[in-house]
Amino acid sequence: MESNSNIQRPDNLPLGVVTIVGTVLALSLGDALIKSLGGSGGMGLWQLFAVRSLLAFPVLICGALVFLNRNRLAPRSIRWITIRSLLLTAMWIAYYLALPLLPLAVAAAAYYTLPLFIVAFAALFGRETVGRSQWVGVALGFVGILLVLRPGGEAFVWAALLPILSAILYALAMILTRTKCRNEHPATLALGLNATFIVVGLAGLLVGWMLPVEATGFLSTGWTTMGPKEWRTTAILAGLILVASVGTAVAYQAAPASTVGTFDFAYVGFALIWGAVFFAERPDKIAMAGIALIVIAGVLAVRRS
């Protein structure tokens, strides 16, 4: 069902900022739990996608039907919802593949080249006015990323490019949320995303069942037996993906993408906390200086002309 309605809701900056901070808190915790599942001998991405969203989907649709008018759930553009969902699914595949190979804080810092792409795409495709301080913030953030990753040094690994790829995909999806899906209900976007997770996950498992694919770790297409711990963790992940899938839609519909995107930087701080709590990861002084620059960049970039 297509709609050419051009009616735009007014911006709500406080709602966008508070929502995105809460969303990245849920995302960072979920990513730490996924990293704890392990990339070797643990659950593959396809099984994780399918089981997590199969648990989340009924809760989401029941809640939407109970609390919302069914007409509000009707998609205005199935095409744009599908493209957005596929971009986000590809984003998570790239990022999850990096998690077993990198410290959580390093993966998060590499991913937070994100504001560079969000601000650039918002200016190019979203027709948003991007101020000088925002561009300065993006530049400082990029310097911070270089300090964290140190390309060409011994600490650099090519897997760090995967979070950068995921940042590009996420930025495209959020600009699409702002420009093409702004009048979709957040629950509709969340349903579309989780439906895509289910389809992609089941397709990956089906390929593994039909064809002997030699893949290990997160790329494994086989089914891993799930014990109480795995089911408990996956149920928590289902709840977190509910928060994340609704939260990202609400935030980027409520406020300009170039502003909301800068508050996505909170993920880096949360990743530092979870990395220390779950994996005893301690970034060195140079990496911490880079992360500090990223935080300063976020403060600068949020200042709009």
Return the pLDDT at 3.
Answer: 45
Q: Mean pLDDT over residues 167-192, rounded?
A: 87
pLDDT at 305: 44
At 5 the pLDDT is: 44
CA distances from 291 to 4, 158, 300 (A): 43, 20, 14
CA 184, CA 139: separation in Å to the nearest integer? 33
More reliable by pLDDT, 229 or 93 = 93
Token output for 147: 């300090």
Give residue-wise pLDDT tens across range 92-131: 999 988 888 888 888 888 887 776 777 777 777 766 677 7
H helix or E strand, kind and range, residue 272: helix 266-279
For 152: left if phi > 0, alpha if psi spans -120 to 50, otherwise beta; the answer is: left
- Tokens in use for 280? 């005893």
Q: How far is CA 33 from CA 28, 95, 277, in A?
A: 9, 14, 11
Cβ–Cβ < 8 Å for 95, 173: no
Query: Rounded to the nearest 5 degrees, what angle is found at the Cα of 248, between the Cα atoms of 246 and 251?
Result: 105
pTM summary value = 0.79
pLDDT above 90: residue 82: yes
Structure tokens at 63: 């809640």
Residue 50 clears pLDDT 80, i.e. is over it: yes
9 φ, ψ to 5°?
-75, 150
